[in-house]
Amino acid sequence: MRAGRDHIGAMRLSSPLPALSRDCALFLDIDGTLIDFSLSPGGVVVPRGLLALLKNLQLRQGGALALLSGRRLGDIEALFGPGFAVGAEHGALLQDAEGQVFAEIRPSAALAALAVPLREAVAAHPGTLLEEKRFGLALHWRAAPEAAGGLQALAARLAAPYPELLLLPAHAALEIRPRGTDKGSALASFMREPPFAGRKPVFVGDDTTDEPAIARANEMGGLGLHVARDFGGATQAVRAWLAESLEREGHGDATA
């Protein structure tokens, strides 16, 4: 894990959101929310102080903090270590803070039919990447935006015979995964389990793949926040809000 140099909490929001209250269950996306994007998923930088901030928030919220990400479980733990509740691969696998998996879907055999031709396609386009996960695939073209159209068209053609697969655009990427699971359903599943049950959910995300969790948090009487709409598009602003919530010791209610 590499640490960045920005100072947690140094940025102040122009229109401050209410502080996160102690009775909330906090759910956080990773890429584009807690950390900035990189040209490849493996090139991201974890800002200095972020891990300590998350640990302090986890303690303050009575353990009710979970990371909901499209990343693989191993990648999340490589960035932040063990000890966090995690919804990996858009909720395909749910693990509690003690490391116990309590829900996971069955991997789709259809993904194998797409993997080989997509590998060949990214090999022919320098700067693109195929991320092969346990429960899905992700095409990335941040370093080669000119390849986006061709890769998306190829993926759509390959996936057409498999109605069980969902293609979902993301930031300079395309997610290919089985239907029937998303971050919204992951959030709802966590909310049925201790220490999340009985609390108000607060979710922060930035992408199309985060919209189901934003909607579900609002539906459940909590608060769904979007990095572009609520934080000016800055991950630093998200980190500053979280840090300020700790500093205020819970005065105000983010779900009011």
Angstrom CA distances, 204 to 67, 68, 189, 235, 250, stand at 10, 10, 17, 10, 18
What is the pLDDT at residue 170?
87
Mean pLDDT, the chain, rounded, equals 90
Each residue's pLDDT tens digit, 27-60: 999 999 999 988 777 788 899 999 999 999 999 9
Q: Which position among 29, 31, 182, 210 bears the catalytic label?
A: 29
pLDDT tens-digit series, residues 155-208: 999 999 999 999 989 889 999 999 988 999 999 999 999 999 999 999 999 999
DSSP 35: B
Q: Is 29 an annotated catalytic residue?
A: yes
Supply the pLDDT for residue 10.
Answer: 44
The confidence score (pLDDT) of residue 2 equals 44
Its pTM surpasses 0.75? yes
Domains within the chain, CATH numbers bracketed: 3-105+181-247 (3.40.50.1000), 110-178 (3.30.70.1020)
Other C-beta atoms lying within 10 Å of the C-beta of residue 1: 11
Report pLDDT digits (tens) over 220-243. Answer: 999 999 999 999 999 999 999 999
